[in-house]
Amino acid sequence: MSSNHRHDAARSCCGRFGEKKMKIVYIIGVSNHDYQIEPCGEFKDFLEATCERNDIHTIAEEMNMEGLIQRSAELTVAQCISSSKQPPLQHLLCDPDMQERKKWGIENPPDVIVKALIANLQQEETERLAQHEYRKRELFWLLKSFALTSFPDLFICGGMHVVPFSQLLNWAGFETKVLEESWTPNQTWEGVDHGD
């Protein structure tokens, strides 16, 4: 799928949103995707408090089934939280799997690095190419976000994606609020009352 075609598809979907009730997306960046999988009590507590405080209806995240299988996991922390709520929260794994990446022409970062080394590219050019692939993935997440039916939404992604994905969501007519740019354990959480 060409870049112009993807942008046209995103723009055509955007028309469904702008005029009606604002769709709010809260964003949490993580410093390591393992926090999304491992039974990290602190991350679970943080997500539960965030959902409660912001009346979250949907959790979406940068993850796919292949990522779960690679990590020998069945569910993410967010999926567990989503299913434990009454009524259950909508949950969506948004990252493209290998078949979707191939269809969209999205290369994996290690592949970009290998190609850059073979081509003897400078570090700056390699980084530019990697960033280009990240933007393609973020556009894929945006299109997945249009399928969400209940807001506010909480989106969990790698910290490097927080700012550009927030900007892309804003461009598409969503209101965004960044709660954490790069969450790590044992930190003070902004915007969440710990009851201390």
Q: What is the 3-state secondary structure (H, E, C) of 111-172?
A: HHHHHHHHCCCCHHHHHHHHHHHHHHHHHHHHHHHCCCCCCCEEEEEEHHHHHHHHHHHHHC
Give the pLDDT confidence of 5-53 residue by residue, as tens digits: 444 544 444 444 444 557 999 999 999 998 999 776 899 999 999 999 9
* pLDDT beyond 50 at 151: yes
Two tokens at 100?
């979707």
pLDDT of residue 192: 45
Q: Which range marks the domain in which residue 110 is found?
A: 3-13+23-183
- Report the C-alpha gap between 146 and 100 in whole angstroms: 17
* Structural domain includes residue 190: no
* Structural domain includes residue 97: yes
* Structural domain includes residue 189: no
* Structural domain includes residue 188: no
Can you give the pTM of this predicted structure? 0.82
**21 compared with 72, residue with greater pLDDT:** 72
- Lowest average pLDDT, out of 3-12, 29-38, 65-74, 105-114, goes to 3-12
Contact 64/95 with Cβ under 8 angstroms?
yes
* Structural domain includes residue 179: yes
pLDDT of residue 191: 47
Q: How many domains does the chain have?
A: 1
* Structural domain includes residue 195: no
